[in-house]
Structure 1
Amino acid sequence: MDWVAARWRWLLVAAVLLFALHNLVGFVVGAMGLLAFVNGVIGRALRARRVVQQVQEMVTDPDDP
């Protein structure tokens, strides 16, 4: 118990740093998840836009004579 009493400040600093690191990692993981979600939404929108353009080209310029 003397070891804990002699080093309580360092133990407190270690606990605070661990808590701060945990929060930072959570923020980074959340930001990555948000970026992945936005990337998926943008990808779907661009694919839908490309399909619409292809359909418009087929309607306005048919290959049949």
Structure 2
Amino acid sequence: MAEKTKRIKFGKKDSQLVIRINSEERDTFISLCEQLDTSAAREIRRFIRGFLAEHQEDAPPALKP
């Protein structure tokens, strides 16, 4: 039997971040994302990447790439 090769995707998402927000804000955000043909998760990841890039020089050495 052939051995299956595991494929590792670049930038594989392997963790979750749980946040609590007002349900009205959540619903408005989800609705706006749908109108803009994007997803809430994609926009939150985009925010996090931008935030990290903006503040990378201020980050402790252990958090720098």
Same fold (TM over 0.5): no
More helix by share: 1
Taking structure 1 as the reference length, the TM-score comes to 0.31
Taking structure 2 as the reference length, the TM-score comes to 0.31
Q: Which protein, 1 or 2, shows the higher relative CO under an 8 Å CA cutoff with sep ≥ 6? A: 2
Structure (1 or 2) with the larger CA radius of gyration: 1
